[in-house]
Chains A and B, each alone.
Chain A
């Protein structure tokens, strides 16, 4: 029983990170109808900037908001420089539908190369903001540590903030309207381009949070968030790409499933399991386990 509980706790912690990445992907999807593969690139860039701040100030908590800002700025810049062009061009031809995908892919490679050029490929370490030692209850130490609690709590806060923004504010309404029907939004007086830029800024910030949270217990290198991007995508798909709550739940489901597989079956099956879950959800419950109103054909 204890072992199961521990495994689930680990799964929740890991799953929270997936949720954050999924959140970033869903944000961009809902505000732009583009799946941003460069998300991992933005996140890693923000994390490196956080790293620089930490090395200079030796303080994680100063680095955190700086990284967030960097992520938001990067997201906004990408939208202004690249996405606007994409939206205007390429409306026909075989590449048109996938042009945004390929462009964000190119962007991912670009950011990774730049990061590699500036900082090199060696693995670096963050100082832990809070302890990595599991909580102790009397004689027992569980694998859930303060850092894991921080991760889960931050994820919950981020989710709440974004949910509130999306569902209860005019900004959120503008974001949704601009994503669903940009023309109608324009005719309603919404500044669609500006709104979209804000959406990308939010997503960039979310990715930065994910990067800053996951790196202390891991390591930092230009490729260290790649697997996270894929996991985030799987989590987003499980949750149904339309829903922020779905992203959260999807991440948890993925995190817990992976933890269970790793613990009870075998550690080498992590990827195949994640992949099979992905395919299974896409085949049998295309609108995600949470369910959304639209189908996946757009």
Chain B
């Protein structure tokens, strides 16, 4: 049994807890960096997996995101993992890429992610306004692109969510579900970042708590240089161990 209303409440509660208002788009990756004790790992998890969540002791948590998915989908997955982090009693979750399938806890996490990134009231107001402006009965593909760009989520996540509303009938939703929207979005003046994966050099990366922990242990002399480097290399931070081949910092 999926408790839709309960999930909506949970999404609203977590927004509040993390210092977000109740209806604006969220920069979910920036938000993740502010969560105490959370390590965020980007990793190419393959064709079938979208993410993982591993809860440790003392708020020592790890969330991994499949870095080969589009950035819109990665944002959705991160919000999905928040459900496991805050509301799932299992300590480890390995999550499948297919939306709204599998166990109830996975479906719940998908719905939660949808409500968390696109609060119901804000989404419906936007849908109504777009329909009013276009003077059509239903949302068009362009409308959907405007909405996904506004909330920063993947195309499929938007179609899935709106198919349950009067603004997008089932047959249209089925049609729009598998449409490639990248070039359409570009012709509407949007950046196509949402529809692209991360550049290859960023597909293996760890941010957040883990790096701080290693740094702290090393600076207190609790681990050797070798161990420190090993810990960073396990977390794919060759850049911190060997330095980066870049032009250096820019101050502006």
Q: Do A and B bind each other?
A: no
Using a CB–CB cutoff of 8 Å, the interface residues on chain A facing chain B are none
Using a CB–CB cutoff of 8 Å, the interface residues on chain B facing chain A are none
